[in-house]
Structure 1
Amino acid sequence: MVISLVVLISGSGSNLRALLEACSSPEFPARVVAVGADNEADGLAHAEEYGIPYFLVDPRAFHSREEWGRELLAQITQWTPDLVVSAGFMRILPADVVARLTPRLINTHPALLPRYPGAHAVRDALADGATVTGATVHIIDEGVDTGPIIRQHAVDIDPADTEHTLHERIKTVERDMLVATVRDIATGQINLEELSA
């Protein structure tokens, strides 16, 4: 079975590109059907390159977060995706959006959750003096990076690391892990309903 994906991005879209490259193989059991963004993200160029439709739902165009969430949900659900992937999407989804999509709503995070949730995970790990951090793929729930963990991979922190160098190493791990996770969801090796029960 081939599952359909809607991928949400806010930035350069390196995780999106990894998924698009994987999906271009006939053997890979998933296809990206649409890409969504909350701004004119650089990563939308990857969707254009691969001929994937995309939509933009900018929160600044709406009177409330809830109104923005309703429009975002409408844009997502018109594609009837089997799985929604938040891949560097830097906004917390409103509760009604999460309730409608979870558990088939996953996120990548550049830390070993539950440590270092939130938008500054790499900086927080360095500030904490940690020697190891990593990447997590998890189901999105109504909290901030609190949903059930699907997969994690550790990354050692080098004493010379800056936020940029560490984040780049984490991104490499994150991309591979996300592709593997989507494949395993598609083939039934990962059951999101069981994980979220």
Structure 2
Amino acid sequence: MSGSIVILISGSGSNLQAIIDAVDAGEITGHISAVISNRPEAFGLERAKNVGIHTEVIDHTGYKSREIFDLNLIRKIDEFEPDLVILAGFMRILTPDFVRRYSGKLINIHPSLLPKYQGLHTHKRAIEAGDSEHGASVHFVTEELDGGPVFMQASVPVLSGDTPEALAQRVLIQEHKIFPIAVKWFMQGRVQLQNGTPHLDGVSLEGNIPRLTL
């Protein structure tokens, strides 16, 4: 059980479940030390509890500022001495101090083919733009919202008559595939952030991001 992983969530935790399943299957080296949510009602907490993973709730509504919340979150995360901190549907904009604290070991999954569609409503925006493909990206987190270096993607076709909901569901299936792979690569030391550029097995991924295509 080498390697400590802390996962931050805000909602249902379906990507959390995909990572839990991969750890349980022995596909990911390491263990999930804690799942932390900023929302006490997040169903992902139940997913963690069901398999005996330690859970914590740090309710952001109880703090006067984003900075104070993030400081308390840092204190809690650091108790578990993580090698990797994962944002799995954690719906908070993080302060620069938080991001710098975990630079190079903080990753997120975003439902678009970054750098397209940073922020919210990505599926609707892709349809309205007439895109032929859409997808998801795993990236290192930087101070720019959804702007950190990407090191894995998955794409799906945008179908005629697609709704944001239908497209979102197909993208989510791919998220569940690539996120555990990305975590596996990181925990194996295969993926690293070097001078702001992601590397896989020592080779720069700039302009050559691995992509799973449906």
TM-score (norm 1): 0.94
Tell me if the contact between 2:127 and 2:164 (Cα under 8 Å) persists in the aligned partners.
yes
- Which has the larger helix fraction? 1
- Say which SS state the counterpart of residue 153 (structure 1) adopts: strand
Tell me if the contact between 2:119 and 2:145 (Cα under 8 Å) persists in the aligned partners.
yes
Query: CA offset at residue 195 of structure 1?
Result: 5.1
Equivalences, count: 197
2:31 equivalent in structure 1:
31
- Say which SS state the counterpart of residue 33 (structure 1) adopts: strand
Cα offsets for 1:70-103 (capped at 9, x unmatched): 0111111111110000011111111111010111
Q: 2:109 matched to 1:108?
A: yes
Tell me if the contact between 1:69 and 1:93 (Cα under 8 Å) persists in the aligned partners.
yes
- Say which SS state the counterpart of residue 115 (structure 1) adopts: coil
Q: Which amino acid aligns with 1:73?
A: I
Cα offsets for 1:83-127 (capped at 9, x unmatched): 000011111111111010111000000100000000221222122
Write the distance in 2 (CA, Å) between the matches of 1:5 and 1:154: 27
- Say which SS state the counterpart of residue 93 (structure 1) adopts: coil
- Say which SS state the counterpart of residue 71 (structure 1) adopts: helix
- Say which SS state the counterpart of residue 191 (structure 2) adopts: coil
Identity value in percent: 38
Cα offsets for 1:148-190 (capped at 9, x unmatched): 1111121111112211111111111111111001111111221
Q: 2:46 matched to 1:45?
A: yes
Structural mapping, 1:53-132, within 5 Å = 53-132=54-133
1:4 equivalent in structure 2:
4
Query: CA offset at residue 27 of structure 1?
Result: 5.0
Structural mapping, 1:111-190, within 5 Å = 111-190=112-191
Write the distance in 2 (CA, Å) between the matches of 1:30 and 1:117: 30
Moved beyond 6 Å, runs of 4+: none
RMSD of the TM alignment (CA)? 1.5
Q: Which amino acid aligns with 1:42?
A: F
Query: CA offset at residue 192 of structure 1?
Result: 2.7
Tell me if the contact between 1:150 and 1:195 (Cα under 8 Å) persists in the aligned partners.
no
Tell me if the contact between 2:84 and 2:105 (Cα under 8 Å) persists in the aligned partners.
yes
Q: Which amino acid aligns with 2:4?
A: S
Tell me if the contact between 1:90 and 1:119 (Cα under 8 Å) persists in the aligned partners.
no
